[in-house]
Amino acid sequence: MIEYRKVLKNRLILMVICTLVSVAVVVFGLLMAKQAETASSTFTDGFVRGFPVGLFTGGLVIVAFTIGRCVKALKDEKFLKKLYILENDERKKMIRQSAMGKSFFFTVGFLIVGVTVASFFDKTVTLSLMAALSVHVLSGAGLKLYYFLKY
């Protein structure tokens, strides 16, 4: 459990850094969206500018819950053991490998960065990347559900 405690501490540091970067992106996005508003702005303009802000805000909420769970595990030995068992469950590992693999998370990350960058330049590219991101995540969720039911 001492090794797992070290892993959780390192994970906690990484999540705090990600949280700070995400807060900076959300604040920057809100400032840019406010600055870009004009009387001739359409719904699509607002949607394209607001999507990355919403994406990073949702990510912040998820990371905040995960940080809370890690802090709770570091304080409570019983919860630490429960979290260790949950993370090292062989059935879930096999499902994760079968359904998603490592490349899934990299491609989702790159698509999120692509949507964020493209939202400052071109609506058509942004909407296309949003559609690709949605299909990719939904297909990953479908495969994960399939393998959970299969095994």
The 3-state DSSP class for residue 88 equals coil
42 DSSP 8-state letter = -
pLDDT the model gives residue 7: 86
Burial 109-126 (b: 16+ CB within 10 A, else e): eebbebbbebbeeeeeeb
For the chain, the C-alpha Rg in angstroms (whole number) is: 19
Model confidence at 91: pLDDT above 80:
no
The model's pLDDT over 19-43, given as tens digits with 9 standing for 90+, comes to: 888 888 778 777 776 666 665 566 6
Q: Averaged over 136-149, what is the pLDDT?
A: 84
| Contacts of 60 by beta carbon, 8 Å cutoff, 6+ apart | 19, 22, 23, 26
Give percent of the chain with pLDDT exceeding 90. 3
Q: Report residue 98 as tokens.
A: 């079968």
pLDDT the model gives residue 109: 84
pLDDT the model gives residue 132: 92
pLDDT the model gives residue 40: 55
Contacts from 33-36 at CB under 8 Å and sequence distance 24+?
Answer: none
Q: Averaged over 65-94, what is the pLDDT?
A: 84
6-15, 53-62, 69-78, 126-135: lowest mean pLDDT where? 53-62
pLDDT tier, 45 (very low <50, low <70, confident <90, very high otherwise):
low
Q: Averaged over 66-85, what is the pLDDT?
A: 87
Q: Report residue 86 as tokens.
A: 């949950």
Distance between CA atoms of residues 56 and 60, nearest Å: 6
Q: Report residue 31 as tokens.
A: 């400032």
